[in-house]
Amino acid sequence: MHRVLLSLVVLAAISCSASAPPETQELRRDKGPAPVAPIAPVAPIAPATPGPPHIVALGDSLTAGLGLPREEAYPAVLQRKLKDAGIAIEVVNAGVSGDTSADGLRRANWALEGDVRLLILALGANDGLRGLPPSQMKSNLQTIIHRARQRGVPVLLVGMEAPPNFGEQYAAAFRQVFQDLARENKVTFVPFLLDGVAGVPNLNQADGIHPTSTGAARIADLLWPAVKTMIQQ
């Protein structure tokens, strides 16, 4: 817990620094206030187009693997685990550096095209770094989950922690969003993407935010049991 808090303090310091290096600023690309997702029900989406079966990891720079070769990001590590397990399925890295939950929602229809067997939903880090309303994040993530279910795609929801600079009340409300989404939608849930990685120096790059290749492998280890179980089901 001490390591996690230490990492979140680093996140807060970086998020408030105007002189942060470009690779650090990537996680929280400044694009102004993110739009609020529509509350009205989303119109039904046509069935996905047939194609090779795949898993989609929809996320931000933590998923994209900022600062790492593409083959060392955690989606690529999951791909190798699937191959070693004899499971013929492709993992698509749909991580974009700087994306908030609103950005991910705008890409959701594209991400869900084809024969998607599983959606790994790992967004929220940039919402927290920018202090965006947790209610807005919940609406965005809920709409993504709804669209995935319209296509019959199971969702692995991956949570995130907010930095402490916005106060404990904000951090608690932010954390509660993921817990509520998991309960209300009855989806498989991993509470913290960086569990076992946050605050561990040798598992993070110099910016203190983005995992090293070893840290990315640790994330893949964290997600693997849920991914394997959901795919086999």
70-123 confidence digits (pLDDT tens): 999 999 999 999 999 999 999 999 999 999 999 999 999 999 999 999 999 999
The whole-number pLDDT of residue 52 equals 87
Q: Which of 7, 15, 61, 139 is catalytic?
A: 61
207 a catalytic residue: yes
Q: Which amino acid is at 2?
A: H
The whole-number pLDDT of residue 42 equals 42
61 a catalytic residue: yes
Domain boundaries, the chain: 2-15+53-232
Q: Which of 15, 139, 207, 213 is catalytic?
A: 207
The whole-number pLDDT of residue 177 equals 98
Beta carbons of 190 and 159 less than 8 angstroms apart: yes
Beta carbons of 104 and 59 less than 8 angstroms apart: yes
The whole-number pLDDT of residue 62 equals 98
Q: How far is residue 131's CA from residue 66's CA, in Å, rounded to a whole number? A: 22
Indicate the SS3 state at residue 84: helix
The whole-number pLDDT of residue 129 equals 96
Q: Which of 60, 97, 99, 210 is catalytic?
A: 210
The whole-number pLDDT of residue 228 equals 98
Percent of the chain with pLDDT over 70: 79
Parts of the chain with a pLDDT under 70: 1-50
Beta carbons of 73 and 94 less than 8 angstroms apart: no
The whole-number pLDDT of residue 27 equals 61
The whole-number pLDDT of residue 35 equals 46
pTM: 0.81
The whole-number pLDDT of residue 25 equals 41
In CATH terms, is domain 2-15+53-232 a member of 1.10.1660.10?
no
Residue burial 140-156, b: 16+ Cβ < 10 Å; e: rest: bbbbbbebbebbebebb
Rounded-to-10 torsion of CA 87, 66, 61, 231:
0
84 a catalytic residue: no
